[in-house]
Chain A
Amino acid sequence: MAEHATHVPGLAHHFVSMEQQKEAGTLGMWIFLLTELMFFGGLFLAYTIYRTTYPEGFLYGSHLLNVPLGGTNTVVLIVSSLTMAMAVYYSQLGEKKKLIFFLLVTLALCFVFLIIKYFEYMSKIHDHLFPAFGTYHPSTTGPHGIPLELQQPVRVFLWIYFLMTGLHALHMIVGAGILITLIYMAQKGRFTKQYNSPVEISGLYWHFVDIVWIFLFPLLYLTGFHVSGAGH
């Protein structure tokens, strides 16, 4: 260990060069994102099959979701993707203040997303639409309740909704943890023009979470948007 007289800050001992370390880190994150893709993939398969099995249930269920709130969250996530990209940009330039600023904005947007999601979930639970623990009472939803023949299919839609968005929200929470760590590290002055791959790699993760939402929004919220009078 003592031989490393020419120690480069941020370079782990088992790598030959910074370039090699960065390549490994980026590749590792991309491979991890493949794993994530397949993780969500199982749910997308379930979605496809159940949507084809219960088209009416999915149309009706989609109408129960709040498009303005979902749309707002879409915009929030897109903006956060931009701010994350800018954080990466300023980390590459080695501008610490701007890096921290954009990381903070991204973190704030993450919380905005999660808060909106929380209110959406609460309203579903309040309307007795949570499909578990015996709390699903579709007859009490809206003025007339969900039609009897659709109650079961709508329930299928709702658990897919909760599972997919819940898993997505979990990834947002993990993302918030990553952002906080990055802000802490940036504050300590750990990132330089030469060493910024943690920011870049976290950026990849953040954009991936954004991409998942890009698909979830139309699949869940907009599926029944064109059908009038199905909801309440």
Chain B
Amino acid sequence: MATEVMQSAEPRTNYLNAGHTVKSWLLTLDHKRIGLLYLFSISAFFFIGGIYATLIRLELVTPQGDLMTAETYNKVFTMHGVIMIFFFLIPSIPAVLGNFLLPLMLGAKDVAFPRLNLLSWYVFIVGGGMFMLTMINGGIDTGWTFYPPYSSIYSNTQVTLAGVSIFITGFSSILTGLNFMVTIHTMRAPGMTWFRLPLFVWAHYATSLIQILGTPVVAITVLALGFERTLQIGIFDPKLGGDPVLFQHMFWFYSHPAVYIMIIPSMGVVSELIANMTRKRVFGYHFVAFSSLAIAVFGFLVWGHHMFTSSQSMYAGLVFSLITYAVAIPSAIKTFNWTATIYKGSVSFDTPMIYALAFLGLFTIGGMTGLFLAAMGLDVHLHDTYFVVAHFHYVMVGGAIIGYLGGLHFWWPKITGKMYPEIWGRISAAIVFLGFNLTFFPQFVVGYLGMPRRYHSYVPEFQVLHILSSAGASILALGFLMPVFYFAWSIKYGKPAGANPWGAVGLEWQTPSPPPTENFTYQPVITTEAYEFEHVEEIKNAGKAEALQTA
């Protein structure tokens, strides 16, 4: 009550109304504004990628390749993959929610290198712009994996331009990771020890590790591919003494850990959602924290499981297969701990929790089917079928995007200061969940039956399953579109959120919504563990009292 009175008396300065010019946004060094710049950019890419997904599903409604030629179809699924992976999923949670929340959660005024942070957005825009140029010039048709020798010698599409754009975008990712890592190490508020950090921060630390150590390897790989294409030097060309499998090694050294860049931040979000929505400390905090790091480390040791059917040695394959099973352990630790957290919690079924529950189920299915694929013998049958497509969409959409949406709903009041309409949030979450399962579950079946990925026509027996999948995709699209409208609506008409609408713990909830430019009006000092719900009232009151004093 008190805060609302204060707000109506004099409009508080916050990061949103600190400047209204375009320049004040494009040259901002405020991590919160940069987070929003990313939000708009990646949302645009998400919907462009979504258009390509729509085209894929439309083509696959009928067994004949009648909507587009095989060549066009190749381009469509490649563009879908590249845009969704490099321009949406990899930046999604770290660059939007991470940028916005990390300094708030640490009790810092900003990230360690604000200029570098802004630079990373510009680098992303340049990379993204170049990829748009690729799109206008006819796109690429190599698949998002760019395997040579097809990509280096035979493809007549814009591989070099696309490669350069991914090379550039990679640096944006590296800069974000570097910034986060230094921020977590050096910018923690007094009293914020490592084991008082929210699990969201731990997850971002693990993610940064992968971004820093993995991304440069893919950078040199696409650089080499670019040279290969333009100069014909034969790095990966068997005719000239090169080895195309070397490309796969170098590519997957990054691109396997890259799937953890997409999923670990989402796990961090889910930890926050479950703790705050069940009002319980996350069960096994230390295990959940360290399992993020374990996934990051193990994630670098398993890349060969993408190459079971290449000329990779079967002995190396055995090792990679075995370690892949090991990655399941930290993932399972997380899932079990989240489940245990919910047990006997005071569970709220607001939109963020619905997304968190959806994540639990869908990620479990996605992860378990990953183990099927890690079995070398079974992978020979399932490799490059729709089973693989379904598996990684369960992890990437059912895990990463669901977590991203849940987080966006949870922190939307903090970002804008307004509540989104709860009822619409729940409806859209339910639609996303239903649409998602209808889209991708049939793909497990059709893949197991032998439908290969990346084909634009198929045998008529598969049509029913494909129609189910396409029908699901249209429902899913509706579910993804709805938040755009009610989020936009809420900015103008949503009811004021107040500092802490969820009664959540965490430093970010102790500052007003939207937060002031330097995040806190007082220097936060941390005296309790993360997720101490017993103390939530006194912390809240103490924070308010100090905020009032200094204001």
Do chains A and B make direct contact within the complex (CB under 8 angstroms)? yes
- A residues with CB within 8 A of B: 12-14, 20, 23-24, 27-28, 31-32, 34-36, 38-43, 45-46, 49-50, 53-54, 131-134, 152-153, 155-156, 159, 163
Q: Are A43 and B220 in contact (CB under 8 A)?
A: yes
B108 at the interface (CB under 8 A from A): yes
A31-B212, A40-B220 known; 18 new pairs, CB 8 Å cut-off, are A14-B108, A14-B518, A20-B186, A31-B181, A32-B178, A34-B213, A35-B215, A35-B216, A39-B216, A42-B220, A46-B224, A49-B243, A49-B246, A50-B241, A54-B241, A132-B233, A152-B241, A155-B241
Q: Are B220 and A159 neighbours in the complex by a CB distance under 8 Å?
A: no
CA distance A50 to B109 in the complex (A): 50
B residues less than 8 Å from A24 (CB atoms): 112-113, 182-183, 185-187
Min CB distance, A48 to chain B, in Å?
10
Distance from B237 Cβ to chain A, minimum over Cβ atoms (Å): 10
> Would you list 19 pairs from A and B whose C-beta atoms are within 8 A, ordered by A residue?
A12-B114, A13-B109, A14-B108, A14-B518, A23-B186, A24-B187, A27-B181, A35-B212, A35-B216, A38-B216, A39-B219, A46-B224, A53-B243, A54-B241, A133-B231, A152-B240, A155-B234, A159-B234, A163-B227
Q: How distant is the Cα of A24 from the Cα of B213 in the complex, in angstroms?
A: 19
Q: Chain B contact residues: over half helix, strand or loop, or mixed?
A: helix
* Given A131-B234, A156-B234, A38 contacting B178 (CB threshold 8 A): no
Which residues in B have some Cβ–Cβ distance to A below 8 Å? 108-110, 112-114, 116, 174, 178-179, 181-183, 185-187, 212-217, 219-221, 224, 227, 231-235, 240-243, 246, 249-250, 253, 518
Separation of A39 and B218 alpha carbons in the complex (Å) = 8
- In the bound complex, residues from chain A placing their C-beta under 8 Å from that of B219 are 39
Pair A14/B114 contact, Cβ less than 8 Å: yes
Partner of B174, one of A35, A40, A54, A134: A35
Question: Contact at B234–A38, with CB atoms within 8 Å?
Answer: no
Closest to A32 in B: B178
Q: Is the interface of A mostly helix, strand, loop or mixed?
A: helix
**Partner pick for B217 among A13, A32, A39, A159, CB 8 A cutoff:** A39
- State the Cβ distance, A101 to closest chain B Cβ, in Å: 30
For B114, the closest partner residue in chain A by CB is A14
The residue of chain B having its C-beta at the shortest distance from the C-beta of A133 within the complex is: B231
B224 touches A163 (CB 8 A): yes
CA distance A12 to B110 in the complex (A): 11
8 smallest A-B Cβ distances: which pairs? A132-B231, A39-B216, A42-B220, A14-B110, A14-B109, A38-B216, A24-B112, A24-B186
What residues of chain B lie closer than 8 Å to A131, measured between beta carbons? 233-234
Distance in angstroms between the alpha carbons of A41 and B215 in the assembled complex: 12
CB neighbours (8 Å) of B213 from chain A are 34-35, 38
